[in-house]
């Protein structure tokens, strides 16, 4: 068995990559198949995922659009159909700022494609991101539709937005390597998108896992203490039984013996407004200590990047 400390990684590199690269890299965490990523692998991976309905993978990238309209009627029709996971702010009488994930745009287009503004958005996205919209692009209208102008904002333009818009439209992904108790709590934050290493698909007896189970070092017990030794014995025994079960059973059957201390990887993707909410709840003395162990240093990092958003959140020891 392997014992490692908890950690996190802000996904800056993926922010600078294409939507396809970002989505594939996140999606493969479930299967721990990052080793299969090549120059050409994103397209087939994403088509397969969309076909199978593994929809949360398509939540791992957002697109921000500035939409200029020449009539109030267009906006009024559109406002009646905005789903929960689409963020829209009014910039002025004729301009809207809209951010949503690939999944949310796909569903918006499928469910409300008859509304003129949605048609225009669908057409724009099919034009600029065919990989994600090609299977619904047949319904695409002739583009552009009159009275509607759509532009895509770059990440740098989103980062330059005033703070009241920045918090809604800047999405940020963090990969945590932590234990299963922590991820069980993180996934309660409903506005986020999540992807997590799957104990159904991962078989820890394989070479790529060094043929062993990995556990997260518990922050409650000092190494060498009687409590730590008890914990270690329990993990060793669990690993032995898990590997034994795998000889005759599937990973999803064998995983039933795996404990909260088991290492897992999870990507949490949400806007800065939700990150601020998470920090307010998960860095307080009432929060679970293993959760604070990763959230307190993450808050410090994000505060350096977005002081206007996170400066007001103080951590009590
Ligand atoms: C110290 C602590 C102890 C906890 N103990 C327990 C426990 O013992 N058992 C347990 O089950 N959970 C527990 N929780 C989880 C907690 O109840 C929340 O589910 C979790 O923290 C998610 O936070 P949230 O609901 O504030 O907001 P999020 O899910 O992060 O949502 C963000 C915001 O969106 C809005 N929102 C989202 N969904 C809805 C909705 N359906 N209706 C209305 N508004 C919505 C709210 O404005 C909310 O503030 C605990 C959390 C903490 C921090």
For residue 83, the SS3 value is: coil
pLDDT digits (tens, 9 = 90+) for 258-304: 999 999 999 999 999 999 999 999 999 999 999 999 999 999 999 99
pLDDT for residue 29 = 93
**Cα separation, 62 vs 249, whole angstroms:** 39
pLDDT at 137: 58
Of 8-17, 110-119, 234-243, which one has max mean pLDDT?
Answer: 234-243
Q: What is the pLDDT of residue 75?
A: 85
Ligand 1 center–CA 271 separation, angstroms:
16
57 φ, ψ to 5°? -60, -40
Write down the domain spans for the chain. 2-18+171-310, 61-169
Mean pLDDT for the stretch of residues 165-181: 98
16 catalytically annotated: no
Q: pLDDT for 49-61, tens place per residue?
A: 888 888 999 999 9
What percent of the chain lies above the pLDDT cut of 90?
80
Spatial distance between the Cα atoms of 252 and 200, rounded to a whole number of angstroms: 4
Catalytic residue among 87, 103, 170, 282: 282
Closest CA to 87 of 161, 149, 12, 137: 161
8 A C-beta contact, residue 19 and residue 231: no
User: Which tokens go with 222?
Assistant: 């000092």
Ligand 1 pocket by Cβ (under 6 Å)? 188-191, 277, 281, 286-287
User: Rounded to 5 degrees, what are φ and ψ at 157?
Assistant: -70, -35
Q: Is 145's pLDDT higher than 80?
A: no
Q: Where are the alpha helices (DSSP H) in 205-271?
A: 226-246, 251-254
CATH of 2-18+171-310, one of 3.30.1360.170, 3.40.50.920, 1.10.10.10, 3.10.20.740: 3.30.1360.170
Q: Note the CATH number of domain 61-169.
A: 3.30.70
Residue 51, Cβ neighbours under 10 Å: how many? 9
The pLDDT score that the predictor gives to residue 141 is 56
DSSP state of 262: B
pLDDT in tens, 186-229: 999 999 999 999 999 999 999 999 999 999 999 999 999 999 99
**Mean predicted confidence (pLDDT) in 131-149:** 72
Task: Among 167, 168, 188, name the best residue to mutate to test ligand 1's pocket (greatest count of ligand atoms within 8 A of Cβ).
Answer: 188
Q: Give the residue from 209, 186, 192, 218 showing the smallest Cα distance to 255.
A: 209
């Amino acid at each position: 068995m392997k014992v490692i400390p908890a950690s996190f990684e802000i996904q800056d590199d993926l922010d600078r990559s294409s939507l396809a690269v970002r989505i594939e890299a996140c999606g493969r965490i479930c299967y721990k198949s990052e080793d299969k990523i090549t120059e050409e692998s994103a397209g087939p991976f994403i088509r397969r995922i969309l076909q199978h309905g593994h929809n949360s993978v398509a939540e791992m990238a957002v697109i921000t659009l500035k939409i200029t309209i020449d009539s109030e009627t267009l906006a009024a029709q559109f406002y009646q159909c905005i789903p929960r996971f689409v963020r829209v702010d009014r910039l002025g009488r004729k301009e809207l700022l809209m951010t949503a994930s690939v999944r949310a745009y796909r569903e918006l287009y499928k469910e409300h494609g008859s509304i003129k503004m949605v048609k225009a958005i669908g057409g724009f996205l099919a034009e600029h991101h065919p990989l994600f919209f090609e299977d619904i692009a047949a319904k695409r209208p002739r583009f552009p539709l009159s009275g509607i102008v759509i532009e895509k904002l770059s990440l740098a333009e989103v980062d330059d937005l005033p703070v009241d818009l920045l918090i809604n439209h800047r999405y940020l992904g963090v990969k945590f390597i932590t234990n299963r108790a922590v991820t069980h709590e993180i996934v309660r934050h409903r506005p986020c998108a999540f992807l997590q290493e799957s104990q159904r698909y991962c078989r820890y007896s394989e070479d790529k896992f060094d043929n062993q189970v990995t556990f997260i070092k518990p922050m409650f017990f000092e190494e060498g203490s009687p409590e730590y030794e008890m914990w270690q014995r329990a993990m060793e025994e669990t690993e032995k039984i898990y590997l034994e079960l795998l000889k005759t059973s599937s990973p999803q059957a064998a995983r039933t013996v795996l404990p909260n201390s088991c290492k897992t990887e999870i990507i949490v993707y949400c806007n800065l407004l939700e990150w601020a909410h998470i920090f307010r709840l998960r860095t307080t003395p009432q929060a679970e200590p293993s959760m604070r162990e990763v959230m307190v240093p993450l808050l410090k990092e994000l505060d350096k990047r977005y002081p206007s958003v996170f400066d007001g959140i103080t951590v009590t020891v």
